[in-house]
A and B are shown apart, each in its own frame.
Chain A
Amino acid sequence: MRTRTAIAAALCAALGTSCSLQEQHAPALVGPSELSISISVAATPDVLPTDGASRAVVTAAARDAYGIPLSNLSLRAAILEDGVAVDLGALSAHSLVTDSSGRATVMYTAPAIHGQQDTGTTVDIGITPVGTNYVNAVVRVTTIRLVPVVPVR
């Protein structure tokens, strides 16, 4: 019995001393990899004929600094060309709020322009988070290419 006790004590001592030299691990990665509010904007499709009826679904997906979907985030949508708001097509809404999955959608309808040359026209749909100081606002855009219904050669 004494021998067993001695063995057990020795084992515990050996494990105890050896385990004080613990293997070290780096902590898990944390922190934002974009702006602290990340907003991805996508247009589907991203090419529209200028027939006054074709539409694209513009989706904004918002995430917080940890990559978690950000719900109830107010967004402002606008049609932009070179960063300036323009009247080139129409949006189904200008004020959006993200849902529980962090997403908000708006429909863009192409303008009706017939018989023009294909000059490589594009239009930007800008999505801006609504906050408390516009100085901090960063517009995220997705670009849609507008093509003539029948290109003139």
Chain B
Amino acid sequence: MKTLAFLVGIAASSACGTVARQGTGSSFLIVDSIEAASGARGEFTSTLQSDVVTIVDASPSLFQDSGRVTFSLGLRDGGASSAVSAPSAANAITIDRYRVRYVRADGRNVAGVDVPYGFDGAFTLTVAERASAGFVLVRAQAKAEAPLAALGGSAVFISTIAEITFFGHDQTGRAVSVTGRIDVHFGNWADPK
């Protein structure tokens, strides 16, 4: 009967035991939200209309577009229901790098041809409970080269999903990463008045 119990336990745990979390630290990050703002408008929304060229005082101008992410801290071991664990200073996670990659639903993802080049960026933010930070989502140089530059004089739009992966570590040095996504629709959108 011991053998039976052991085998049943193995079978059940192997089938259901995967807890998908990033990294090996005792804490992890939850992306509460990612918002973005067109550089030409400045209002943050949950999807982005990225204007590839904006007329300002009769001059065509380029703006980079910003993103804003809000994180919460989670603990792997939340404690008992009667004694819920609280994060210590060592559990806090410092984000210090991010990577943006654009993908298309139609599967055409050649950077510089079908989608803008992805890039690495940096900011530093320590999340002890909940925290927000701004970052660059679409760089100005992306609007000055293919495939975005050609959209300035046409009625064609390119719809992408931006995958943003944030990299950091907890205060004991263990690496943490988390990914969020947001729609980015590139085109020559109507300019604000």
Given contacts A33-B160, A34-B157, A138-B155, contact A18 B105 (CB under 8 A): no
Q: Which residue of the partner chain, among A7, A40, A65, contacts B7 with CB atoms under 8 Å?
A: A7
Q: Are B11 and A14 in contact (CB under 8 A)?
A: yes
Over the window 1-17 of chain B, the binary record of Cβ atoms lying under 8 Å from chain A Cβ atoms (1 yes, 0 no) is: 00110011001100110
Note all chain B residues with C-beta closer than 8 A to A35. Answer: 156-157
Interface size on B, residues (CB 8 A): 27
Q: Which residue of the partner chain, among A21, A33, A65, contacts B158 with CB atoms under 8 Å?
A: A33
Residue of B nearest to A65 (CB): B106
Over the window 47-70 of chain B, the binary record of Cβ atoms lying under 8 Å from chain A Cβ atoms (1 yes, 0 no) is: 000000000000000000000000
Does B108 lie at the interface of the complex (its beta carbon under 8 Å from any beta carbon of A)? yes
Chain B nearest CB from A7 CB (Å) reads 5
* A55–B60 alpha-carbon span in the complex (Å): 31
Given contacts A11-B11, A15-B11, A141-B153, contact A33 B4 (CB under 8 A): no
CB interface residues, A 94-143, toward B, < 8 Å: 138-142
Residue of B nearest to A13 (CB): B8
* A34–B155 alpha-carbon span in the complex (Å): 10
Q: Are B107 and A67 in contact (CB under 8 A)?
A: yes
Number of A-B contacts (CB under 8 A): 77
Residue of B nearest to A139 (CB): B154
Q: Are B4 and A34 in contact (CB under 8 A)?
A: no
Does B18 lie at the interface of the complex (its beta carbon under 8 Å from any beta carbon of A)? yes
Does B125 lie at the interface of the complex (its beta carbon under 8 Å from any beta carbon of A)? no
Q: Are B7 and A33 in contact (CB under 8 A)?
A: no
Chain A nearest CB from B23 CB (Å) reads 20
Q: Are B156 and A10 in contact (CB under 8 A)?
A: no
Over the window 152-192 of chain B, the binary record of Cβ atoms lying under 8 Å from chain A Cβ atoms (1 yes, 0 no) is: 01111111110000000000000000000000000000000
Which of B103, B106, B161 neighbours the largest number of chain A CB atoms within 10 Å of its CB?
B106
Q: Which residue of the partner chain, among A10, A31, A32, A142, contacts B8 with CB atoms under 8 Å?
A: A10
Residue of B nearest to A19 (CB): B15
Q: Are A11 and B108 in contact (CB under 8 A)?
A: no
* A18–B159 alpha-carbon span in the complex (Å): 40
* A7–B4 alpha-carbon span in the complex (Å): 6
Chain B nearest CB from A47 CB (Å) reads 16
- Residues of B whose CB lies within 8 Å of any CB of A are 3-4, 7-8, 11-12, 15-16, 18, 103-108, 113-114, 150, 153-161
